[in-house]
């Protein structure tokens, strides 16, 4: 039998290869830390979202080990059937307490939380307003919902106001945005968005994926940082980045959480996470509460590194966070720098289209609390060499 139904895939891969856009999987050896072993090399790791250095923290490991002894491993069913354990319930209560909301709901991932929540809150006859640089999980949620989607220019409050003013006759309106944008490292103008939501009687959903644990006095994110939490109706976050664990969550009023538990398809029709995973989330929330110095020091470190890179002559756009994009324009130039840095023992991911728009290829430096001054020195030396060579 000569099946050719999948032959198109080879053409597709070949065209990615030709455009220099084909990506290949590699596997890290050992834990996710500031120094990692990958493809036979030991590299200083600027390619993880482990902003507070918790992914390999022994307190999380211990919490999971203890939970495994009590609960064993598998979740075994969706949460509405028998998959939700006492640890899930405890983590949801704890997340609500952390966020200062009535309730919270735990999803298998942040991706599921966004896509399922948006699709549950809006449908045919509704209007969604989405920032042009929102995360893929938000974009997918918008598409899944079947609602009309209006994309406003990145961070452009006037454009959003214009689109809101033009929209009429919709059943419901929902504004959705990342709070800290994952590639550009800049913050959404949340106070202005909250004001517009109020004025146009729209719901506001804010995804704090990169900001939970990092921004705000208590680590609740950019909404806390800007003191506009009252104006954010639906908060999405993830335990998989600064909290070094796994799982997404939605926090808000009880009726919202009850509705999502009934209607969010990525929640209802997906197996609950292992209970032991919840133990890691609980342990991470303890650390977020007890060690505020981590987020403070991280942001101070980011501030210093940004100043030094700017001084070297790099363009860092409008980043004001622990995510430092270094814009290189041309994808080949960016990938050349990536390769040279790798030679120096530095792992800095290069981001190219289609992840970013044409002409906006960048090096994405993810800073972690666990990076030492010596590691940052190495990075600065590598970057200095690169800018000299390109002059």
Catalytic residue among 241, 270, 368, 371: 241
Indicate the burial class of 58 (C-beta count within 10 angstroms; 0-12, 13-18, 19 or more).
exposed
Strand partners, 329: 361
Nearest CB to ligand PLP, comparing residues 83 and 110: 110
CB of 321 to ligand PLP, least distance (A): 12
Examine the residue annotation and report whether 170 is marked as an active-site residue of this protein.
Answer: no
Q: What is the DSSP letter of 169?
A: S
Closest CA to 98 of 254, 226, 219, 234: 219
Nearest CB to ligand PLP, comparing residues 295 and 314: 295
CB of 358 to ligand PLP, least distance (A): 21
Examine the residue annotation and report whether 133 is marked as an active-site residue of this protein.
Answer: no
CB of 207 to ligand PLP, least distance (A): 5
Nearest CB to ligand PLP, comparing residues 182 and 321: 182
Indicate the burial class of 20 (C-beta count within 10 angstroms; 0-12, 13-18, 19 or more).
exposed
The tally of CA atoms less than 13 A away on the side-chain side of residue 271 is: 8
CA dihedral 305, 27, 55, 266 (to 10 degrees): 110
* Alpha carbon distance 132, 155 (integer Å): 8
CB of 371 to ligand PLP, least distance (A): 20
Nearest CB to ligand PLP, comparing residues 122 and 375: 122
Nearest CB to ligand PLP, comparing residues 213 and 382: 213
Examine the residue annotation and report whether 145 is marked as an active-site residue of this protein.
Answer: no
* Alpha carbon distance 186, 354 (integer Å): 19
Catalytic residue among 109, 130, 182, 270: 182
Nearest CB to ligand PLP, comparing residues 182 and 319: 182
Give the helix/strand (H/E) hosting 163: helix 157-166
Q: Under DSSP, is residue 119 helix (H, G, I), strand (E, B) or coil?
A: helix
CB of 391 to ligand PLP, least distance (A): 34
Catalytic residue among 88, 135, 210, 371: 210
Residue with tokens 């918008």: 142
The tally of CA atoms less than 13 A away on the side-chain side of residue 53 is: 14
Tokens representing 320? 């004001």
**What residues make contact with ligand PLP under the rule CB under 6 A?**
109-111, 114, 135, 137, 178, 182, 207, 209-210, 238, 240, 248
CB of 381 to ligand PLP, least distance (A): 29
CA-based R_g, the chain, Å: 22
* Residues labelled as active-site residues: 182, 210, 241
């Amino acid at each position: 039998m000569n099946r050719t139904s999948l032959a198109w895939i080879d053409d597709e891969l070949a065209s990615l290869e030709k455009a220099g856009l084909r990506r290949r999987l590699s596997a890290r050896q050992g834990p996710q830390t500031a120094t990692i072993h990958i493809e036979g090399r030991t590299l200083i790791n600027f390619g993880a979202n482990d902003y507070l250095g918790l992914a390999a923290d022994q307190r999380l490991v211990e919490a999971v080990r203890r939970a495994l002894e009590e609960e064993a491993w598998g979740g075994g069913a969706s949460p509405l059937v028998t998959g939700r354990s006492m640890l899930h319930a405890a983590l949801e209560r704890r997340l609500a307490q952390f966020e200062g909301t009535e309730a919270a709901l735990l999803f298998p991932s942040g991706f599921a939380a966004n896509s399922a929540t948006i699709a549950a809150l809006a449908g045919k006859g509704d209007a969604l307003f989405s920032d042009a640089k929102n995360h893929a999980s938000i974009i997918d949620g918008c598409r899944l919902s079947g609602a009309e989607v209006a994309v406003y220019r990145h961070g452009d409050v006037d454009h959003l106001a214009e689109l809101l003013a033009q929209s009429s006759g919709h059943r419901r309106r929902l504004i959705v945005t990342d709070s800290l944008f994952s590639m550009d490292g800049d913050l959404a103008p949340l106070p202005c968005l909250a004001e517009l939501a109020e004025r146009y009687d729209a719901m506001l959903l804010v995804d704090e994926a990169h900001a939970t644990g990092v921004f705000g006095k208590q680590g609740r994110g950019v909404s806390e940082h800007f003191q506009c939490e009252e104006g954010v109706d639906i908060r999405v976050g993830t335990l998989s980045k600064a909290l070094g664990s796994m799982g997404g969550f939605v926090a808000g009023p009880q009726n919202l959480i009850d509705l999502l538990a009934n209607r969010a398809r990525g929640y209802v029709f997906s197996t609950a996470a292992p209970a032991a995973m919840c133990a890691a989330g609980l342990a991470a929330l303890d650390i977020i509460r007890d060690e505020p110095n981590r987020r403070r020091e991280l942001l101070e470190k980011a501030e210093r590194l940004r100043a030094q890179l700017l001084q070297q002559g790099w363009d860092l756009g409008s980043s004001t966070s622990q995510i430092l994009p270094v814009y290189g324009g041309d994808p080949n130039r960016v990938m050349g720098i990536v390769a040279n840095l790798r030679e120096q023992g530095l792992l800095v991911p290069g981001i190219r289209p289609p992840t970013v728009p044409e002409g906006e290829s960048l090096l994405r430096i993810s800073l972690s609390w666990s990076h030492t001054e010596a590691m940052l020195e190495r990075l600065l030396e590598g970057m200095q060499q690169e800018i000299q060579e390109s002059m």
